[in-house]
Amino acid sequence: MKTSIIYICYLVFIALIQLSCTESPRNNNSADGDIDADTQDITTDEIDDLVNDQVNDSESDVDHGVDSEYQLGNFFLVFDFTQSTFSIFHSDNPEKQIWYTGSNSLVEASKVQREVEEQRGSYNFVENSTWSCTGNLDENLGENLVYDGSSLSISGSFAQENCPDGWRLSFFAKTDSSLGFKLEILPAENEINLLSLNYGTDSSEKFFGFGEQFTWLNLKGRKVIIISQEQGIGRGAEPVTSTINTISPGSGGDWYTTYAAVPHYITSKNRSLFLENTKVSLFDLENPDKVKVQLHGKVMEGRILAGSSPLELIEEYTAWSGRMPALPSWLNQGAVVGMQGGTAEVYAKLQLLENHNTPIAAFWLQDWVGKRSTLIGSQLWWNWELNETAYPDWGQLVSHLEDKGIRVMGYVNPFLVDVSGQEGFTRNLFAEAESAGYLVKNQEDQTYLVQNTDFSAGMIDLSNPAARTWFKNILKEEMSDIGFSGWMADFAEALPFDAKLYDQSDAAAWHNKYPVEWARLNREFIQDEGLEGETVFFNRAGFSRSPAYCTLFWLGDQLVTFDGDDGMKSAIKGMISAGFSGYSLNHSDIGGYTTISAWIKNWYRSEDLLLRWMEMAAFTPVFRTHEGNQPENNVQFYSNPTTLEHFSTFAKVYQALAFYREELMVEAAQLGYPLVRHPFLHYPDDPVVADLEYQWMLGSEFMVAPVVSPNSSTVDLYLPKGNWVHLWSGDLYGDPAQGSFVTINDAFYGFPPVFYKQNSPAGLTLVQNLVDRGIL
């Protein structure tokens, strides 16, 4: 009798739990349905404890109804137990699915033999599956669901024999608009090293983001690998890619290779998801009805985001990834003049620019350490101290420029080369770092020498706190203290997968983390020295959390061509796509960088390309030139009166927009919005804008569509509904009732198609500023 009474009490207790927790309607916004704020950022370890406690109970506390709803914060998970499916909704829009299971297996787990082939920072993965398992939701879904009010987990078994015991997918509210998830294999000790989560997508859904993507803006129908690496030279454009691969196998790259990949997307259906893992992942979007997210690891963690607009999704994502601060005010006022050649050359170029009243923010002198001849032309000596032979009277030069309101910028990267036997150096930083144990090691505990072009270098071990402190001292003593107000913080995408790190971390997990830590080191130095808001650095390599530390991005090394694989058009796409993933402040080398002299063809920068790239860059966050890796073969801003005048003109256009960029940088710092925006961000309901590639909005007020074809003055573009004013003529375009396609046939040099919204205060201010500068 005593046992029966206990059992009856137990049933009553279970019933009370079900009444209070289980059937929470999606549109119930009462306080009773909200999770306490203290539980919203519950850790994954706490989730594991809660789930394991529930799994061990003798009875499941789940209502096995046909359609059951479970609330986690503002999210609702709706299950159809008869169909073994479920969907996720958010209280702000309770009828809209923001995630749902598909018709395929939900989970896949595999053991693979993987070889990583590396060639000068480019990676190729060769995988052979030993065995693979698939798991799906089945008729026992209700019995395998555990819910406690703050978390919900689903577990299941695998269909194949000789697989692990099973899998578990858990959900938990992180914030009001983000739902955390965790996929793991049971038991925790297993041989799985490749994990996949499969879910549904609409066949017409377009996928944007994934960091800097240079070939496609909409990635639907493609497999997107998430790894920071060299973007390659050519990236599929022929014959340049094949030519480079002949010289250096694997260095040509492909459409998916990028310096800054991010496991995050936003879709045309206003859905968004990202991974928190740093290991290599893959988003397979080839199936029109399924998304497959693969991770090279045992546990997958991420978040599903909710928002009423793409901009809200960016805001929610960047609350996690971090947001970029406003640029120093001096950088916003003129051109960053990239040049090489020494002190005398700086004075000569300064005089030329002053003759044209060119606004100059800084001289960027990347060869301050001295140059060396290599396979690709000229590169720098990666030993970070001033070369006084190239730059005599350095202090006087810096003071002269400062008196004119012009800053000096330099170059640095996390590599060090051995300069033993070389003349002109007072320190051998490689030797210092190696003797102190500050360099990444190989499996034999020797310094890991990473091949670049035709030389190799050691890499700072950023997992070593002492190494970080030592390198910060280099930044102070050799750069900041001698007058640099900023620098290019190059590379960081080449940590070998088989490296040994100081803190014993897995190098495969650190590879994508390394560029984040490289940016973090530079930012910490600025903060430690009290230079926040005064000193700037710009990175090309990045990952998910890079915006939290980086002060400025640049798009890396494009070809000196117009093409869409690796030229000017690819830079536009890279800048636009990165904006979806929190890279708010980004820019490119004016005119591109990669110059090639080859037996099959020469790829040299033309005047036409340089002039059009100047026009494009004036409407981006930073206006900076680069001479390229073969300066003598490229047309430069100082090559002739036409290039010099054009450069001066668009430096003034850039300066005229400083007021508006300041406003946008406040938005970037507070909300994570990019300055260069895909029109979709402001017109998500216009079915045309999602397919636009080579035009962008600067903020919300300007539409920019530069000339992107050689020797052309014609541009086809699209204007969303409304009245738009052509910047140069003042003519009115567009339709207040609907969007319209426009062809501009007179986009001659000096008049790139730029429009502003009629009566826009920002547009009218820009016009007045251009009039004041004699441009309009």
Positive or negative, the Cα torsion across 503, 509, 515, 521?
Answer: negative
Q: φ, ψ for residue 757 (rounded to 5)?
A: -65, 140
Cβ neighbours of residue 257 under 8 Å, at least 6 residues apart? 122, 229, 230, 231, 232, 235
Distance CA 375, CA 630 (A): 11
Cβ neighbours of residue 335 under 8 Å, at least 6 residues apart? 358, 359, 360, 361, 623, 624, 625, 647, 651, 654
Distance CA 191, CA 213 (A): 33
The helices-and-strands tally (H runs, E runs) of the chain is: 16, 40
Distance CA 692, CA 684 (A): 12
Which helix (H) or strand (E) segment holds residue 523: the answer is helix 514-528
* SS3 label, residue 572: helix
According to DSSP H, which parts of 1-61 are helical? 2-21, 37-40, 44-55
Helix, strand and coil content of the chain, in percent to the nearest 5, comes to: 30, 30, 45
Positive or negative, the Cα torsion across 745, 751, 756, 760?
Answer: negative
Structure tokens at 38: 């203290």
Strand partners, 310: none
* SS3 label, residue 769: helix
Say which residue the tokens 């003529």 belong to.
729
Measure Cα distances from 224 to 220, 256, 283, 681 in Å. 9, 6, 5, 22
Distance CA 302, CA 277 (A): 7
Distance CA 719, CA 734 (A): 6
The active-site residue, picked from 490, 563, 615, 667, is 490
According to DSSP H, which parts of 641-760 are helical? 641-656, 658-671
The active-site residue, picked from 418, 557, 615, 667, is 557
Angle between the N-to-C axes of helices 568-580 and 310-321, in degrees from 0 to 180, rounded to the nearest 10: 80
Cβ neighbours of residue 496 under 8 Å, at least 6 residues apart? 118, 440, 442, 448, 450, 507
Structure tokens at 754: 């730029």
> CB 178: neighbour CB atoms within 10 A?
24
Amino acid at 208: F
Long-range Cβ contacts of 683-686 (<8 Å, 24+ apart):
683/720, 683/739, 684/268, 684/270, 684/309, 684/310, 686/720, 686/721, 686/739
* Contact assessment for residue 154 and residue 168, using Cβ atoms and an 8 Å cutoff: yes
* SS3 label, residue 642: helix
**Residue 477 a catalytic site member:** no
**Residue 493 a catalytic site member:** yes
**Residue 402 a catalytic site member:** no
Alpha carbon 477 to chain centroid, angstroms: 31
Positive or negative, the Cα torsion across 579, 585, 586, 590?
Answer: positive
Considering only CA atoms, which of 482, 429, 498 is closest in space to residue 460? 429
Which residues are marked as active site? Answer: 490, 493, 557
